[in-house]
Structure 1
Amino acid sequence: MSAASTFRIDALGVAYGGRPVLSQLSLADVAPGSLVGVLGPNGVGKSSLLRAIAKLVPAQGHARLGGLDLLHCRHDEHLAHVAYLPQTLPQASTLRVLEVVTGALRATCPDLPAGEREARLQAVLAELQLLPMALRRLDELSGGQRQMVGLAQVFVRRTPLMLLDEPTSALDLRWQMLALQALRQAARERGAIVCLAMHDLNLAARCCDRLVLLGARGLLADGVPSAVLRSDMLREAFHVEARIERTAGQAQVVLVERALPAE
């Protein structure tokens, strides 16, 4: 399957212990080369959505990448098309950065020729500016540095669909920009589709082509950032009073003024 395949979700549902977290969620086609931000308060299913597509939790419905139904395909097919980064950071250990990234590539792409494997490793470490720490142990790194190593484990696989759960949560401002620039480059150059669960609304507005806003009653909004990040939508989703401003360069900025009583 080409990396230029569209992605769509039809009637997806996830439940834990009989309690629905997502119910009949459908999203129209996501174009190749897109960054999609999944937004919403805690507990509305952002992580569950990504975990369902990653086949880590049971789910009903369909998630199609081109003609491949990711929820019902073989494990090897899924592995070839989807990479997932959880919220949890790579565990601190005595393994070195290069070993960890190499291990991820060997485990998921065992038939890759040695020359191409080495080229991928060098390219991703350079792209994410991890070459200076390639031989450092994970237990010597900060949380943010280990999060970048986790991103490298996803990037090196070059899958057409990448699912990232709060990939910038441990990063400072510079590393956030580097990570998001690399995601944008992967999307643009390879036609990859990148789905990110995020809490930072302004970062989402800046980097994403499309936003999906989840709330207590399911899908609240889906579209370009200017159509989703509206005061009424933020009030319903997060129970806050917020206003939307624009910078001199016309970038959207969300300014939260106060919390509202919970309903």
Structure 2
Amino acid sequence: MDGKEVEVPLSELLNGYQRQSDYTKKTMEAAELRRTADAETQKAQQERFEYNSKLERMAVQLEGVLEQQSQIDWPALLESDPMEYLKQQQLFQQRQALYQQNMQERQQLAQQFQNEQAQAHQSYLAKQQEDLLAKLPDWKDDAKAAAEKTAISKFLKEQGFGDEDISSIADHRHVIVARKAMLYDQLMAKANVQAKKVQEAPQRVVKPGVTSNGSADGRTAAAKNHAKNGTVESAAAVFAQFL
């Protein structure tokens, strides 16, 4: 400490090592729990997908036999063979019940899948918002974030994006790119205005023996260069002349 060697008690070193070890262990356990949870979720989804496929195949088979039985002339069968009539009626009712049960189970699976998709989407949006605030900490101010979001939406509409296109943007990287593009356009617009003002300003006539205004000459040169090139660098050069 301060260039001097300091002896640290062994007990303190051991305690520090133990704390770090505990932290590392807990971090690894948390990561393992997440991996296990993800693996279990994927396994459950796969099993549910396979079960739904079986239900769909069963439904096709039931629809086929029910269609065949619907072609039976029930009054004629009752008249000619009452026992067969009762047998076919019982089979028909059983198959109808199975088909209804099959439909209900498939609907439940579909609803469960939709719920999981919605939950996953909400988790995705939360993560994107977290990443966005990490890169744009100023947006933690709700008022500032709302103002810039409105400006970005207006900018995107001017570029031909529709309301649905804009509202569907979820990836924080797309927001970052759109914001940078907007700020770039704003910078270029301001630089163009400044360059135009400089170009339109009356030129001073410098009399022989009188030193010219270096700042004015620099602004004029920067404005002409920006008018010719129109780059970010030339725009920055224009602004630099006014600092």
Instruction: Name the TM-score class by shorter chain.
Output: under 0.3
TM-score, normalised with respect to structure 1: 0.20
More strand by share: 1
TM-score, normalised with respect to structure 2: 0.21
More helix by share: 2
CA radius of gyration, larger in = 2
Which of the pair has the greater relative contact order for Cα pairs under 8 Å at 6+ separation? 1
